[in-house]
Structure 1
Amino acid sequence: MLRTAELKEIDMRIHPNPSHSDYVSYIKRDILFPQILPRDLIIVNVEIDVAVETITTTTEPIMTSNCEQQLVEDYQRLFRDDLLTDFTIRVGGREIRAHRAILAARSPVFQAMLMHELTNETKSGVLEISDLDYDVVYELVYYIYCGRCQKDIGDIATDLLIAADKYRLVELKNHCEKFLVENLANENVCQLLIIGDLYNAERLQERAVQAPTTGSATTDPLAIPPPSL
């Protein structure tokens, strides 16, 4: 409906457009023009009634699979409960029970060690580790089973990187290197520079070189305590 400035109302017709999904409106020219003065204003009041077809659909709930998390939990239990273990790792008088197949599948070093029939470890089923602390080795083996660290590695990050390099666990080494890069400080930059160089941690070495130091930093490599080997 059109309403002129003189409050005259003019009917309009609105019909569906058969060739489109919209509506068309029209009003006859000979009706509109005689009732609108030049420079007049037109106020358009629109009332729209639209019939919408309602479609109801039902869907089955989406079942999301959490296989990865379940796999981690299963391997955690396998490691924690010593289920069917067939190998022992001894560190500082303490033992960690493990499975040869899992160790060999995850670490090329363990694979070479355990697939060779003549090695002492294969014959005895025992690996003696004297160059790493128990906590470091435990975290290493936990990572072998679960693909993640079970706790904050802050206190053992450097030694864990060394262990990961020794047993060629690339992802764990990268994880430790990332942690050390993010925690570079004036107090540890020189030691971490040496660690980066010794164990081919290029990103750590690069960031340590770029890190600013003050006079309080230790710059004498001989004065830096060596990593726990």
Structure 2
Amino acid sequence: MSSSSASSANHDDDEHPSETTSSRSLADTVTVAHNFEITSYSLLDGFRPGEYICSRRFNAGGYEWCIRFFSKKHTNDDRFTIRCVLTVITPRTEERSAVVVPRSNLHGHLIEMLEDGEGKDVTFSVGGQLFHAHRCMLAARSPVFKVELFNGMEEKDDTRHIKVDDDMEPAIFQALLHFIYTDAFPYQYCGVDKNVPLQHLFVAADRYRLDRLKAMCEQKLCQSIDVHTVATTLALAEQHQCVQLKKACLGFLSSHGVLGDIQETDGFKQLVSSCPSVVADIVNHVAIASGSGRAAKRARVEATHSDSSSS
């Protein structure tokens, strides 16, 4: 009889516990990509087994990583890029709560406000197209807009309708507004993943002192340098005093075997004409990369010849 009563009491405790706690297992993931460019591959002949060249270290998931390349002479390309896409999975356990807090959707509401035009109080005319926006948002995000739209704490009466200079394209201005309202890179606008629109967006970000957007554009320009774009990108870096972008361009220009092809492009001729001071930087980097005074002299002569031809 007593045994039966004890069993019944245990069963009641299972169904009606005095306290219940819970937890769940989660996995956080971080994905990064790193491009490791191999140049002058033919010079790697003679590597002994086990020898390798190493990329610079990069961070992912709280750890440092690098790419090690062991030469096996299985390619005819003298220059190529190894792209490593790395996903780090970090398991963790957290206490479960009955209250689930939704993720912030502030940027979504703000972009809806921009697109719906509700509460708009300023209109921009760009290349014949009209864009409606909100003064307070623009002024909060851009010190240039703040000066343009407000005089101290007073609204300027002549800012209901503003005509933007003709050198600004409508698609670029739309991308600029999207960033202002969302703080996210405007991938879906004006093909800004392409080099030329990306350069225009970079210039617009610098013009309105949107430093985060400018840095985003600079990073993407560094990653998209090639024979056809390096000269115009270098001119852009020189004009806007972007140290890292200029460094990336000079590094590409001094790569094995590409300078001759670059000098044939219209962009290089324009570079020599508009930024003649950068020619000395190109010569120095080529000389350092080649380790040869003769190569430096040849690069200087070729650059001078391009300057004369463009004149």
Bin for the TM-score computed over the shorter chain: 0.5 to 0.7
Query: Residues of 1 paired with 2:273 and 2:225: CA distance?
Result: 15
Question: Could you tell me which residue of structure 1 aligns to residue 133 of structure 2?
Answer: 98
Structure with the higher fraction of residues in strand conformation: 2
Question: Could you tell me which residue of structure 1 aligns to residue 184 of structure 2?
Answer: 148
* 1:90 to 1:111, Cα distance in 2 relative to 1, 3 A: same
Structure with the higher fraction of residues in helix conformation: 2
Of the three residues 178, 185, 194, the one matched with 2:226 is: 185
1:116 aligns with 2:79: no
Question: Could you tell me which residue of structure 2 aligns to residue 57 of structure 1?
Answer: 20
Query: Residues of 2 paired with 1:158 and 1:214: CA distance?
Result: 22
Q: How far apart are 1:116 and its partner, in Å?
A: 1.9
Within 5 Å, give how 1:16-165 maps onto structure 2: 57-59=20-22, 60-61=97-98, 63-67=100-104, 70-116=105-151, 122-129=157-164, 130-150=166-186, 151=188, 153-155=192-194, 156-165=197-206
Q: How far apart are 1:224 and its partner, in Å?
A: 8.6
Q: How many correspondences in the alignment? A: 169
Runs of 4+ with >6 A deviation = none
Q: How far apart are 1:222 and its partner, in Å?
A: 5.4
- Is this contact kept in 2: 1:191–1:224, CA < 8 A? no
Specify every segment of 5 or more residues in structure 2 that has no aligned partner in the other structure, as ranges.
1-13, 23-96, 275-311
Query: Residues of 1 paired with 2:98 and 2:123: CA distance?
Result: 46
The percentage of aligned residue pairs carrying the same residue is 26
Query: Residues of 1 paired with 2:156 and 2:203: CA distance?
Result: 21
Query: Residues of 1 paired with 2:211 and 2:273: CA distance?
Result: 26
Q: Could you state the TM-score of these two structures normalised by the residue count of structure 2?
A: 0.50
- Is this contact kept in 1: 2:185–2:216, CA < 8 A? no
* 1:96 to 1:224, Cα distance in 2 relative to 1, 3 A: farther
Of the three residues 214, 217, 221, the one matched with 2:259 is: 214
Q: Could you state the TM-score of these two structures normalised by the residue count of structure 1?
A: 0.67
Q: How far apart are 1:126 and its partner, in Å?
A: 1.5
- Is this contact kept in 2: 1:113–1:122, CA < 8 A? no
Q: How far apart are 1:78 and its partner, in Å?
A: 0.3
- 1:166-221: CA deviation from partner (whole Å, max 9, x where unpaired): 00000000011111000011111111001001112221111001112332213323
How much is the aligned-residue C-alpha RMSD, in angstroms? 2.6
Query: Residues of 2 paired with 1:123 and 1:185: CA distance?
Result: 45
